């Protein structure tokens, strides 16, 4: 083989490798609910990941740390999905209040260790609703166990809406200089607000060390957090998968941001 031919073949191989890397479709793990009869994830999350260009894979809850580590090794990005309350006594040292609702201990263990393992491995994470709360607790933060009984505000907001899941009922203000602002800046109003859907009675209270607040509701409730210096790790209290799965792609950039970071 002549030197010139070798150079051509080497260059062609590099080009093919580069194209393959560009075309790589990232695998996005979705943390599942845990019930006696099934582990599942709502189709709204699956549809949103597919629309953003990722391959959704359901990750069943387990308390086996080796299995969790293997799951993290097999994915390129992670979505922590919504669901039940988080056990306050075990995970942030507070006695449960009377208004606290159902907890699923194995799912708490799974989600918290899954989040820690993903961040340690450098995998981008998007936490949604409970998923945002899990991110906060996993790294040392605390939660309001029940907003109505714990938060007093001159401008109260209803955070558990009676409306279709894709319909936004209250506004949030997104903070400038944050990753979330960069993602949503094209859809924000002039005062940096946006209308979101809302289905929760718990929320971030003390923000975990290493995280900052990205957005708040009018009553001061934290609506988004993100990790300092790591734009791939963020959580939102609202449900972007609701409108995206119903054909409203306004919040699709949140999922595209995750998929892009996962590449």
CA distance 62 to 36: 12
Q: What is the dihedral of CA 161, 93, 219, 183, to 10 degrees?
A: -80
Calpha distance 165→251 (Å, rounded): 14
DSSP 8-class letter at 207? P
**What digits encode the pLDDT tens for the residues 80-97?**
999 999 999 999 999 999
- Mean pLDDT calculated for residue range 2-27: 55
- Spatial distance between the Cα atoms of 240 and 254, rounded to a whole number of angstroms: 8
pLDDT band of residue 10 (cuts 50, 70, 90) is low
Q: How far apart are CA 260 and CA 65, in angstroms?
A: 28
Active site residues: 129, 239, 241
In a 3-state reduction of DSSP, which class is residue 168? coil
Cβ atoms within 10 Å of 224's Cβ, excluding its own: 27
pLDDT digits (tens, 9 = 90+) for 95-154: 999 999 999 999 999 999 999 999 999 999 999 999 999 999 999 999 999 999 999 999
What pLDDT does 22 receive?
Answer: 56
Mean local confidence (pLDDT), 171-199: 97
d(CA 212, CA 84): 24
**Backbone φ and ψ of 156, nearest 5°:** -60, 150
Domains and CATH numbers, the chain: 24-262 (3.40.50.880)
Q: Give me the phi and psi of 37, to 5 degrees please.
A: -95, -15
Query: With 80 as the cut, is the pLDDT of residue 6 above it?
Result: no
């Amino acid at each position: 083989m002549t030197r010139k031919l070798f150079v051509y073949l080497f260059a062609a191989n590099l080009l093919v490798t580069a194209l393959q890397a560009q075309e790589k479709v990232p695998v996005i793990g979705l943390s599942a609910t845990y019930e006696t009869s099934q582990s599942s994830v709502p189709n709204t999350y699956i549809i949103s990941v597919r629309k953003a260009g990722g391959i959704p894979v359901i990750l069943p809850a387990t308390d086996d740390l080796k299995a969790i580590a293997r799951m993290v090794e097999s994915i390129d990005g992670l979505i922590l999905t919504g669901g039940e309350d988080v056990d306050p006594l075990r995970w942030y040292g507070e006695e449960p209040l009377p208004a606290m609702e159902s907890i699923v201990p194995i799912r708490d263990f799974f989600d918290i260790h899954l989040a820690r393992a993903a961040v340690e491995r450098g995998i981008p994470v998007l936490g949604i609703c409970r998923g945002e709360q899990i991110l906060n607790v996993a790294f040392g933060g605390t939660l309001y166990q029940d907003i109505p009984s714990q938060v007093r505000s001159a401008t109260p907001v209803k955070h558990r809406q009676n409306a279709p899941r894709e319909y936004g009922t209250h506004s949030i203000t997104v903070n400038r200089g944050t990753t979330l602002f960069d993602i949503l800046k094209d859809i924000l109003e002039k005062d940096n607000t946006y209308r979101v859907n809302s289905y929760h009675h718990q929320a971030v209270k003390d923000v975990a060390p290493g995280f900052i607040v990205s957005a708040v509701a009018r009553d001061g409730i934290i609506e988004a957090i993100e990790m300092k210096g790591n734009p791939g790790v963020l959580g939102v209290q609202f449900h972007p998968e609701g409108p995206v799965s119903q054909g409203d792609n306004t919040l699709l950039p949140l999922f595209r941001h995750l998929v892009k970071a996962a590449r």
